[in-house]
Structure 1
Amino acid sequence: MGRKFKDISIFLLTVILTISLTGCGASESGTSAGDGETITLKLGHNQPTSSQFHAGAEKFAELVAEKTESKVEIEVYHDSQLGDEGELAEGTKMGTVDISLVASGSVTKYYPRYSIFDLPFLFRDAEHVDKVLQGEVGELLAKEAEEKGGFKVMSYWESGFRHFLNSARPIESPEDLKGLKIRTPEWPVLISTTEALGANPVPMPFSELYMASQHGVVDGQEGPVFAIKSSKMYEVQDYMVLDGHTYTSMLLIMNPKKFDKLPADIQESLMEAAKEAGDYERKLIRDKEKEEIKFLEDTGELQIEKDPDKDAWRKSVQSVYDEYGKEFGEDLIQKIIDTK
């Protein structure tokens, strides 16, 4: 009996070791990455399915499937299903979220220098944005973000230029903002900009904004045109100004450890798909903006100031540059401003 018991024990141990070694082929998210099996990666964002964010994310999933011959599947989670932007950024850094689409301001807790993009009136127009972000500056910051921030920037997408709106009164100049409670994301530079313009910033997650506006917790908000339309903020706001006080870059980020564990050909395909999907999403944002402004004006019944005095707005926010210039690097700020 002793010999037979010993043989059974050896057999069971062999089985257990075999199962354990087989399990080593699984990804951290629990999806097998073995030969011939599909790798599944979860991508989260905070906007509804009607948004350009979602369209871009779906395009990314389509491109990844195409380029990897369906070896990789991207599951897209919208409407903050995997968390709001701050939670998505943290989850991606920690590895509980594979990929996320978040504003550059949402990762500054881990890599503060990305707040440089939040500086008011830093970018002249969309062409200027592309030359900076798709060029030397964008590459430098992405490299530093991986080394110092702990997340991999796969590509730059966009939310676009941001504008103020409220339910209290028309906004034609910075003075009209004074005293208004304005919801902002929890981004230090944008909070400072809102204060410099005389308003009272109320930081809160985007997912809470509609109800906060509906119940008067805030008088207004600021944000890009597409998000105002897709989230139906025109239902709870009456006045808008196309001031373009700041531009928000979106980052498609991935947990670097998960990325590094993937085969080289899969890594290359993911990066190619991320770049192409980013180009697609930015074009979508820009192409639809005039149509969306008309919708907000006609259907949404927003009263919109389309041609504010930008010089007056710029002068009102000079203190923000004084506050953050040294922290971000005055040479880098000037390099961005001088980019042609």
Structure 2
Amino acid sequence: MPDASLSRRSLLTGAAAVPLCAILTRRASAAEFTYKLATGQDPNHPVNARAQQAIDRIREATGGRLEIRLFPANQLGGDTDLLAQLRSGAVEFLNISSSILATFLPVASLPNIGFAFKDYDSVWAAMDGPLGAYVREQIGLTPILTVSKTWDNGFRHITSSTREIRTPDDLKGFKIRVPQAPMQTSLFRALNAGAAPINFNELYSALQTKVVEGQENPLAITATTRLYEVQKSCSLTGHIWDAYWILGNKRAWLRLPEDVRTIVTRELDRSADEERADIVTLNANLRSTLSQKGLTFIDVDREAFRDALSRTSFYKDWKTKFGEGAWSHLEAVSGKLA
């Protein structure tokens, strides 16, 4: 049973709960369009609460013409499978992290460059500005497109069941699980860690059996999936910031009348702003909550990690892969990296 103190109510501090009657209400008449929105996040995650609220507002604002059904927690398949379903049109909308989107479109991981952002002010200046516009433009050249502004996956931090990670040297030989994403793999290997790509649904077991010593994720993920049960410390490295994108299948999107598309984007943008605020509040609360669960928090010198990374070929290699034009969009907000 999930811990009561990490229930939906406590996890969504600062996020308005979705009224049950609103979720269950269905118009008597059939919708003109019935679409699916798939997510990979646990139902407790703010992404799903805010997505459901947007769905309810969209149904109301369109007079029931568009019915969007939410399928959280990879109910319709794993992340990469869902991405394939989105491209084929089997799923009309998908919430997915930029690091996973990068397995299909490498430039999507441009904002994931290690230690590119120091805080949320720099993140949103970039993602609501030229950098975000550039990435959205590149996504739009494929069979999919973005249908709202970016949502917040959060800054990723390192947890461990063995050694405490206080300096870059502590990562040497450290067995850490990373997602199936080239960015995280290359970052930790550059810092001499033993980076092991493992599917997320296998992560808890891998930590429990000591296949890996640690992992890296935003605090909301560490909490909602109870990874704190098999970890002892959390180093607040903030080594990567990751976005969530609400993506649409281009053919399905264009089937919607223009006025409906306008409503969808308007309401998803509103929920994006609310979800961003939720994550900030949630992170502040989770440090206290997870500390009470026995997870020790370590404040590290992030500049020391960035300096260590800059002494490797990491930034140079990724600049070459992305190209000068794309890299210039990133350095306009991050400062000189390579």
TM-score (norm. length: structure 1): 0.85
Shift of residue 332 of structure 1? 3.6
1:92-139 residue CA offsets vs partner (Å, 9 max, x unmatched): 112111111101111223321111111101112111111111112212
**RMSD (Å) for aligned C-alpha atoms:** 1.7
Q: Look up the match of 1:337.
A: 331
Cα deviations by residue, 1:55-99 (Å, 9 ceiling, x for unpaired): 222122122123212221221111111122222222111211111
Structure exhibiting the larger radius of gyration computed from Cα positions: 1
* Aligned residue in 1 for 2:143: 150
Q: What is the TM-score with the length of structure 2 in the denominator?
A: 0.85
What's the secondary structure of 1:253's corresponding residue? strand
**How much does 1:289 deviate?**
0.9
The 8 Å contact of residues 105 and 115 in structure 1, kept in 2 or not, is answered as: yes
Q: Which moved more, 1:35-44 or 1:260-269?
A: 35-44
1:331 shift after superposition: 4.5
Counterpart of 1:131 (choices 125, 130, 134) is 125
The answer to whether the Cα contact below 8 Å between 1:196 and 1:316 also exists between their aligned partners in 2 is no
Partner Cα distance (1:109, 1:257) in 2: 22
User: Aligned match of 2:259 in 265, 269, 285?
Assistant: 265
Partner of 1:213: 207
Pair 1:309 & 2:334 matched: no
Distance 1:181 1:54 in 2: 32
1:225 and 2:227 correspond: no
Q: How big is the shift at 1:280?
A: 1.3
- How far apart are 1:37 and its partner, in Å? 3.3
**Distance (whole Å) between structure 2 residues aligned to residue 304 and residue 215 of structure 1:** 23
- CA contact 2:31–2:67 (8 Å) conserved in 1: no
Question: How many Å separate the matches in 1 of 2:224 and 2:30?
Answer: 39
CA contact (8 A) 2:35 2:92 kept: yes
Q: Distance in 2 between matches of 1:73 and 1:131?
A: 33
What is the CA distance between 1:36 and its match in structure 2?
6.7
CA distance in 2, matches of 1:69, 1:248: 35
Name the CA distance, whole Å, in 2 between partners of 1:225 and 1:219.
17
| In structure 1, distance between residues paired with 2:106 and 2:143 | 12
Residue 279 of structure 2 aligns to a residue whose secondary structure is helix
**Counterpart amino acid of 1:317?**
L
- CA gap of 1:109–1:150, structure 2 versus 1, over 3 A, is farther
Aligned residues: 303
- In structure 2, distance between residues paired with 1:36 and 1:213: 47
Partner SS, residue 158 of structure 1: strand
Aligned to 2:90: 96
The residue matched to 2:211 in structure 1 has which SS?
coil
AA aligned to 2:305 is: W
Residue of structure 2 in register with 1:67 after alignment: 61
Give the distance between the partners of 2:331 and 2:294, measured in 1 at CA. 36
SS of the equivalent of 1:168 reads coil
* 1:291 counterpart letter in structure 2: N
Rounded to whole Å, the distance in 1 between the matches of 2:298 and 2:209 is: 25
Where structure 2 has 5 or more consecutive residues not aligned to the other structure, the ranges are: 1-28
